[in-house]
């Protein structure tokens, strides 16, 4: 096999992947089937907002390994149900070993569920609100290298989104976290050129209808 560009790894299954998913098989599966593929489903978008809030100070793999526990604890991330959680719910969650037991993050998740309901009321869906901030692909690099992607910590769009969400009362979601959300939910394709998944994500993005706000 020709020498791979920096940031690419060839695994035993013959697939060339981005460097960051090498920790275990679960992480590689996440890279291959989820990360970067466009998402317009509100429940999945809300889940990712919540899990990214819990990730603060931790690795994404730590959260990924507990994702099923989080789903069970937070009603499958149905924002309408989570919005009805109360102090008794908080106490229950603080005793749940399947999640990260951090009061501030738990309370932020409940708060954010209520804010999500407000977005749905105003825009028709969380997706319709969020995808308005999709970066312009024409302004992005033609070839995504390891050196470039390491500099992608925020974007003008994630900064604007964070500012707006903060004004709307969302918690634990700053510009860096929201750029990671854009990467994961397919609002950008940050798989490196040469990664086997990159063209699959690009095709999925091309085929995805962007949700429009109501009215």
Spatial contact of 196 and 15, defined as CB atoms under 8 Å apart:
yes
Residue 52 annotated as catalytic: yes
Q: How far is CA 111 from the centre of its chain?
A: 18
The residue to which tokens 């040469």 are assigned: 194
Catalytic residue from among 27, 35, 60, 129: 60
Catalytic residue from among 30, 34, 118, 202: 30
What is the C-alpha separation between 147 and 152, in angstroms, rounded?
10
Nearest to 73 by CA among 109, 42, 111: 109
Region for residue 195 given its phi and psi (left: phi exceeds 0; alpha: psi -120 to 50; beta: otherwise): beta
Burial class (CB in 10 A: 0-12, 13-18, 19+), 38: buried
Q: What are the structure tokens assigned to 213, written together?
A: 């706000």
Burial class (CB in 10 A: 0-12, 13-18, 19+), 15: middle
What is the C-alpha separation between 82 and 61, in angstroms, rounded?
24
Residue 30 annotated as catalytic: yes
Q: What are the structure tokens assigned to 67, written together?
A: 């994702």
Catalytic residue from among 52, 131, 157, 179: 52
Report how far apart, in Å, the C-alpha atoms of 51 and of each of 131, 171, 183, 193, 203 are.
19, 12, 14, 28, 27
Q: Which residues are catalytic?
A: 30, 52, 60
């Amino acid at each position: 096999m020709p020498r791979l560009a920096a940031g690419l790894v060839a695994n035993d299954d013959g697939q060339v992947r981005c460097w960051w998913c090498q920790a275990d098989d679960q992480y590689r599966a996440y890279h291959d089937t989820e990360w970067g593929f466009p998402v317009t489903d509100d429940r999945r978008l809300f889940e990712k907002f919540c899990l990214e809030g819990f990730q603060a100070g931790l690795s994404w793999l730590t959260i990924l390994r507990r994702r099923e526990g989080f789903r069970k604890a937070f009603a499958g991330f149905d924002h309408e149900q989570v919005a009805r959680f109360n102090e008794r719910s908080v106490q229950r969650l603080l005793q749940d070993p399947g999640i990260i037991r951090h009061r501030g993050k738990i309370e932020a998740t409940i708060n954010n569920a209520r804010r999500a309901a407000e977005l749905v009321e105003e825009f028709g869906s969380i997706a319709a609100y969020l995808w308005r901030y999709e970066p312009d692909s024409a302004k992005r690099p033609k070839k995504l290298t390891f050196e470039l992607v390491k500099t992608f910590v925020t974007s003008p769009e994630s900064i604007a989104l964070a500012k707006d969400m903060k004004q709307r009362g969302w918690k634990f979601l700053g510009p860096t976290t929201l750029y990671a959300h854009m990467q994961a939910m397919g609002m950008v394709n940050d798989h490196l050129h040469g990664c086997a998944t990159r063209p699959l994500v690009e095709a999925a993005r091309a085929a995805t209808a962007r949700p429009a706000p109501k009215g």
